[in-house]
Amino acid sequence: MSEIVLVTGGAGFIGAPTVARLLDAGHEVVVVDNFSVGSLERLAPLRRHKALDIVELDLRDAKGTAVAVGEIGARSVIHLAAHHFIPFCKAHPADTIDVNVGGTQHLLDALVPVAPERVLFASTADVYAAAPFPHVETDPTEPDNIYGMSKLMGERLMQFHSERAPKTDVVNVRFFNAVGPGETNPHLVPDILDHVRAGDELPLGNTDTRRDYVHTEDMAEALARLLGGPDGSFTVNLGTGVSWDATDIVHFMAQLLDRTLVINTDPAKVRRSDRQNLQASARRLEMLLPGFRTKSLRETLASTLSAEGFALAPAAVPA
């Protein structure tokens, strides 16, 4: 059987480090992406790898997807391609359903004759009903926006697929908030970085909402390891188990850069329907991947700042 891993959305923010990790682990990788948000440049450092192939394809094109995915003939699949930025999704609900639900079903249809051993689906913490405590995978789901709804539908499509194609295990991976260099969408951390580049005053929106921030390298590592098992179909959170708010992020950045950073609330950026806390229970992930450890937020921010070209204060760099 083919050893190929097909990564949809492999030219994106989480996709590029995932592809790098898979290549490092010795996999052959085929990236499928329409480059609407991701880009070839993100994969430029990896293009010398003979084991990497890149296919430009829009998953909304059912026929094109059937042909390309049939030719690739992957042994396993990581399905990351999606519309992901929530304000965009809210403003473009039909397009969001088209890509996140229709595109997912086109991919699954194309995978029936291929019968890969495993498909990992990039779901989201946004599928959960809002709660102040860490989410376990059995918690009730109740997305409060079109993006979360599209991902919950994607999870269900995965379950239906495992009934239709019983040789394929499906793993719904509920990602919490990704952090790392080169973020594609204007989330909180890239917004803070832009302001930190410009000066010490940071006009931010909600500063007290708490999120569980995971380095994209840790996401890539977890995905690479989940490809290898354990067998069966299941759902798992991909989070650190700890939540932080914007003031914590700014506090760590100030320490790491040895600067005095001041937050000014910008009313135009305050989101009304924000969840107060979105935090994973990481127990299932830790049980499934013994020894797997996520970076602390401070480590994640130090690595992100360095990769983004900031000079860390000497005291912040480990001896």
Residues of this chain that interact with ligand NAD (CB under 6 A) are 9, 11-15, 33-38, 58-60, 80-82, 84, 99, 103, 122, 124, 175, 177-178, 184-185
Structure tokens, 307: 């990769």
- Shortest approach of ligand NAD to residue 230 CB, angstroms? 22
Judged by beta carbon, residue 185 or residue 306, the one nearer ligand NAD is 185
User: Which residues, 6 or more positions from 173, have their beta carbon under 8 angstroms from its beta carbon?
Assistant: 120, 121, 122, 123, 222, 223, 226, 235, 236, 237, 238
CB of 46 to ligand NAD, least distance (A): 14
CB within 8 Å of 5: residues ≥ 6 apart: 22, 27, 28, 29, 30, 74, 75, 76, 77, 78, 227
Rounded to the nearest whole angstrom, what is the least distance from the CB of residue 58 to ligand NAD in the complex? 4
The pair of three-digit structure tokens given for residue 122, joined into one six-digit string: 């990039």
Taking the least distance from each CB to ligand NAD, the nearer of 23 and 89 is 89
- Between 60 and 259, whose beta carbon lies closer to ligand NAD? 60
**What's the one-letter identity of residue 12?**
G
For residue 209, the minimal CB distance to ligand NAD (Å) is 14
**CB-wise, 122 or 224, nearer to ligand NAD?**
122
For residue 85, the minimal CB distance to ligand NAD (Å) is 7
Residue 210 bridge partners (DSSP): 277
Q: Give 36 or 247: the residue with its C-beta nearer to ligand NAD.
A: 36
Residues in contact with 317: Cβ distance below 8 Å, sequence separation at least 6, in sequence order = 302
Nearest distance in Å: CB 289, ligand NAD: 18
The CB-of-146 to ligand NAD minimum distance in angstroms stands at 12
Beta carbon nearer to ligand NAD, 257 or 304: 304
Nearer to ligand NAD, 13 or 244 (CB): 13
